[in-house]
Chains A and B, each alone.
Chain A
Amino acid sequence: MQTVLNLLEMEPIRFFIAFGAILFLVLNLAAILVMAERKVAGYIQLRYGPNRVGWRGILQPLADIIKLFTKENVAPGRADLWIFLGAPIALFIPAVLVWIVIPFAPGAVVADLNVAILFFVGVTSIGALGVIMAGYGSRSSFSLLGALRGAAQMISYEVPLILSLLGIVMLTGSLSLVDVVNAQGDTFWSWYFLPQFPMFIVFYIAGLAEVKRVPFDLPEGESEIVGGFMIEYSGMTWALIQAAEFASMGLMSAITTTLFLGGWQPPLPFLDLGQFNWFWFGIKTALIMFTFQWIRWSMPRLRMDQLMDFGWKILVPACLIWLFVTAGVMLIIPG
Chain B
Amino acid sequence: MPQLGQGMLKGMSVTLKHLFGKKITRQYPEYKRDLPERSRGMLTVDMDRCIACLQCMRVCPDHCISIEQTKRDADGSGKAKPYAVGFVIDDSRCMYCSLCVEVCPVNCIYHTEEFEAQAYNRLELARQFGERPVDPTIDPRPTVKKKPKKAAKKAPNKDEAA
Contact = CB atoms under 8 A, between A and B. Distances in A.
Whether chain B is bound by chain A comes out as yes
Interface in A244-259: none
Contacts of A294: 12, 15-16, 19
A331 interface: no
A298 interface: yes
B21 interface: yes
Contacts, number: 34
9 contacts: A43-B18, A45-B18, A47-B23, A294-B15, A294-B16, A298-B8, A298-B11, A298-B12, A299-B8
Contact of A46 (B8, B11, B25, B27): B25
A271 interface: no
B24 interface: yes
A319 B27 CA distance: 49
A215 to B, nearest CB: 9
A46 B18 contact: yes
A304 interface: no
Contacts of B11: 298-299
Interface of B: 8, 11-12, 14-16, 18-25, 27
Contacts of B21: 46
A44 B15 CA distance: 5
B23 A48 contact: yes
A214 to B, nearest CB: 12
A43 B14 CA distance: 12
B12 A43 contact: no
A46 B22 CA distance: 7
The 5 residue pairs across chains A and B that have the minimum distance between CB atoms: A298-B15, A44-B15, A298-B11, A47-B25, A298-B12
A48 B11 CA distance: 20
B25 A40 contact: no
Nearest to B11: A298
Contact of B23 (A43, A295, A297, A298): A43
Contacts of B14: 298
A40 B23 CA distance: 12
Nearest to B12: A298
A298 B12 CA distance: 6
Most chain A C-beta atoms within 10 Å of own C-beta, residue among B15, B18, B22: B15
A210 to B, nearest CB: 20
B25 A297 contact: no
Contact of B19 (A40, A48, A295, A299): A40
A82 to B, nearest CB: 39
Contacts of A46: 18, 21-25
A43 B25 contact: no
Interface in A16-57: 40, 43-48
A297 B8 CA distance: 12
Contacts of B12: 294-295, 298
Contacts of B24: 46-47
B18 A48 contact: no
A298 B8 CA distance: 8
